[in-house]
Chains A and B, each alone.
Chain A
Amino acid sequence: MSMRQYMTTSAAERPDFAAIAAWIPNGASVLDLGCGDGSLLRYLRETRAVRGYGVEISDIDIVSCIVNGMNVIQNDLESGLSDFEDNSFDFVILSQTLQATRHTEALIREMLRVGREGIVSFPNFGYWRNRLRVLLGYMPVSRELPFQWYDTPNVHLCTLRDFENFCRKHNVSVMERRVMTGEREVSLLPNLLGSTAVYRFRRGI
């Protein structure tokens, strides 16, 4: 009977929340893909009065979103966003989910069909600690990548440079980028010193 199993992430655990919120004007419409328990949406509603929806596949997360009072649509991102119309959101967000998507190219295309702008955050595989782990002969395991090689959902990890190359090749125009390690903003050698990247982008002209 207890609903306590449906836990909520706090914004403090996720430094990318504030970075994402900084780009979103008050009252914007937002679609959060792979929204988890709905805590980013909730954070954006509380700090930016956004309205919008989450998309999530996990049963437990669906209940958590509802507990959080967020609109959530149960759907597999890999099958596209056919329930959503062209240009129907100001922002489509993919927060810490990109690296776990299989049809990544198609999904970014869908994000920019449905939204006027896209925002992604992902763990930077080029972060020096990750490089060091690989250099030492192991797959990286860290706060941002908390999985063992055999149980990770991540299939498409990338570095900042990889992502930016991807955008160039796919006519995606990067508008802004923030790179962080923990809550600290990184400006020097970001592809080496930053553990998390957040990008804001739109369709290229």
Chain B
Amino acid sequence: MNASNSIGIVSAKRAQFDTPLVFRSGAVLPRYELVYETYGKLNAEKSNAILVCHALSGNHHVAGYYADDAENIGWWDNMIGPGKPINTDKFFVIGVNNLGGCHGSTGPSSIDPETSHPYGANFPVITVEDWVESQARLADLLGIRQFAAVIGGSLGGMQALQWSLALPDRVRNVLAIAAAPHLTAQNIAFNDVARSAILNDPNFHGGNFYRHNAVPTHGLRLARMLGHITDLSDDAMADKFGRELRDGQFNYGYEIEFEIESYLRHQGDKFASSFDANTYLLMTKALDYFDPAHDFGGDLNRAFARAKAGFLVISFTTDWRFSPERAREIVRPLLHNRRNVSYAEITSTHGHDSFLMEEPHYFDVVRAYLDNVAEELSS
């Protein structure tokens, strides 16, 4: 990576909200905090802001690195920075840790001021709609009436879509990448297996493991291993690991033998030591519940009638979790409602994870679209 293209040293900010947030479930969170980062400069009209929404395991640290931790590079640093497709020379980019997260925003591992204990199982089940509402309040706080674009991949793409539906006047463009208008039964099934691994871990203690000084590492690790399998393509795994053996021979036992086992367990361990199990549960539930057609008798055409934004929808050929066919389910209701929409299907070998990879054509598509958005702002 070219260091001159990095936004450089960044730091997280914190915003406090004291107006109660009523969740879609009916639950109420009396107050909460969101951590966020910003890159680039907000223009005088406050019209050049881009919100980047994160997916299941992401957070607010989207680009750059920290002064005291240069190795901690933002998860979408290849996409965001000076001269990059999401160009911080032109846009004011905001990354926010979603409510319910475990990287600083109020979530299950935060202390509930009412009880002085972590929320744990008491943290309300959250939906994409609730996230958008909480993000809108952050926009209010920053004086941003309308985003030039809301951008996200996967679950982040769902949030971007929801922005256009819930607050159509507050977003000019939506970039929904590797996303779908709702999960399929197969997607939900994978999430249920992941959740079962966590819920059945003896260290989970019904979600209140903090007070037992326990961590359901085992369940979280399994959940993450499963996630890695579904987010990679068969080909990518075959290319990377094939049937490689760590010791070059069969050991006829149950220890790690194949390289893929080693990789998955390493990824699982790494994740389980840094991520909150309750957050993982919440994120997967938010994925499962998202379905804009739900309130419109299953009719996505009617659901998208409210949208006013311009849309760029992007899918990846080897993504079998949110396949190109699923992305076209987003495109069709936009065509039906005669919205401005472009759709690109990127040839990529990395499965669902492709949206995080630097692929020249993919980056050119995003760059071309956002360059036009920037041009409209300045004209």
List B contacts of A1 (CB < 8 A): 83
List B contacts of A66 (CB < 8 A): 312, 342, 344, 365, 368-369, 372
List B contacts of A83 (CB < 8 A): 328, 331-332, 335
**Would B343 and A69 count as touching, CB distance under 8 A?**
no
**Would A3 and B343 count as touching, CB distance under 8 A?**
no
Instruction: Tell me the bound Cα distance from A84 to B343 in angstroms.
Output: 13
Q: Which chain A residues numbered 1 to 31 have a C-beta less than 8 Å away from chain B?
A: 1, 3, 6, 29
**Would A67 and B343 count as touching, CB distance under 8 A?**
no
**Would A62 and B335 count as touching, CB distance under 8 A?**
no
Q: Which chain B residues numbered 331 to 369 have a C-beta less than 8 Å away from chain A?
A: 331-332, 335-336, 338, 340-345, 347, 361, 364-365, 367-369
Choice from A69, A75, A88 contacting B372 with Cβ under 8 Å? A69
Choice from B312, B328, B342, B368 contacting A3 with Cβ under 8 Å? B368
Q: How many residues of B contact A (CB 8 A)?
A: 23
**Would A65 and B335 count as touching, CB distance under 8 A?**
no
Given contacts A83-B328, A83-B335, A88-B335, A73 and B365 within 8 Å (CB-CB): no
**Could you give, for residues 72-111 of chain A, a 1 whenever the CB lies within 8 Å of some chain B CB and a 0 otherwise?**
1111000000011100100000000000000000000000
List A contacts of B335 (CB < 8 A): 53, 73, 83-85, 88
Given contacts A53-B335, A69-B372, A83-B335, A74 and B83 within 8 Å (CB-CB): no
**Would B368 and A72 count as touching, CB distance under 8 A?**
no
Max chain B C-beta neighbours (<10 A), residue from A51, A53, A66, A69:
A66
Choice from B338, B345, B364 contacting A63 with Cβ under 8 Å? B364
Give the contact-size bracket for chain A: 20 to 34
B371 at the interface (CB under 8 A from A): yes
List A contacts of B328 (CB < 8 A): 83
**Would A3 and B364 count as touching, CB distance under 8 A?**
yes
Q: Which residue of A lies closest to B312 (CB)?
A: A66
Distance of B28 from chain A, by nearest CB (Å): 42
Q: Which residue of B lies closest to A51 (CB)?
A: B338
Secondary structure of the B contact surface, majority rule: helix
Distance of A38 from chain B, by nearest CB (Å): 10
**Would A74 and B338 count as touching, CB distance under 8 A?**
no
Instruction: Tell me the bound Cα distance from A70 to B365 in angstroms.
Output: 13
Q: Which chain B residues numbered 296 to 351 have a C-beta less than 8 Å away from chain A?
A: 312, 328, 331-332, 335-336, 338, 340-345, 347
Given contacts A67-B368, A83-B335, A84-B335, A62 and B340 within 8 Å (CB-CB): no
List B contacts of A51 (CB < 8 A): 338
Q: Which residue of A lies closest to B85 (CB)?
A: A1
Q: Which residue of A lies closest to B361 (CB)?
A: A59
List B contacts of A84 (CB < 8 A): 335
Instruction: Tell me the bound Cα distance from A168 to B161 in angstroms.
Output: 46
Q: Which chain A residues numbered 138 to 189 have a C-beta less than 8 Å away from chain B?
A: none
A71 at the interface (CB under 8 A from B): yes
Given contacts A63-B364, A66-B365, A71 and B336 within 8 Å (CB-CB): no
Q: Which residue of A lies closest to B314 (CB)?
A: A74
Distance of A67 from chain B, by nearest CB (Å): 5
Instruction: Tell me the bound Cα distance from A67 to B371 in angstroms.
Output: 8
**Would A63 and B342 count as touching, CB distance under 8 A?**
no
Max chain A C-beta neighbours (<10 A), residue from B341, B364, B371:
B364
Instruction: Tell me the bound Cα distance from A51 to B367 in angstroms.
Output: 23
Choice from B83, B331, B345, B368 contacting A6 with Cβ under 8 Å? B368
User: 30 A-B residue contacts at CB 8 Å?
Assistant: A1-B83, A3-B364, A3-B368, A6-B364, A29-B338, A51-B338, A53-B335, A53-B341, A59-B344, A59-B361, A62-B342, A63-B361, A63-B368, A65-B342, A66-B344, A66-B365, A66-B369, A67-B368, A67-B372, A69-B372, A71-B340, A71-B341, A72-B342, A72-B343, A74-B343, A75-B343, A83-B331, A84-B335, A85-B335, A88-B335
Q: Residues on A close to B: CB < 8 A?
A: 1, 3, 6, 29, 51, 53, 59, 62-63, 65-67, 69-75, 83-85, 88
Q: Can you list the 6 inter-chain pairs with the closest CB atoms, starting with the nearest? A: A66-B368, A73-B343, A74-B345, A67-B368, A63-B364, A72-B342
Q: A53-B341, A74-B343 are in contact. List 20 more A-B contacts (CB 8 A).
A: A3-B367, A6-B368, A63-B361, A63-B365, A63-B368, A66-B312, A66-B342, A66-B344, A66-B369, A69-B372, A72-B342, A72-B343, A73-B341, A73-B343, A74-B345, A75-B343, A83-B328, A83-B332, A83-B335, A85-B336
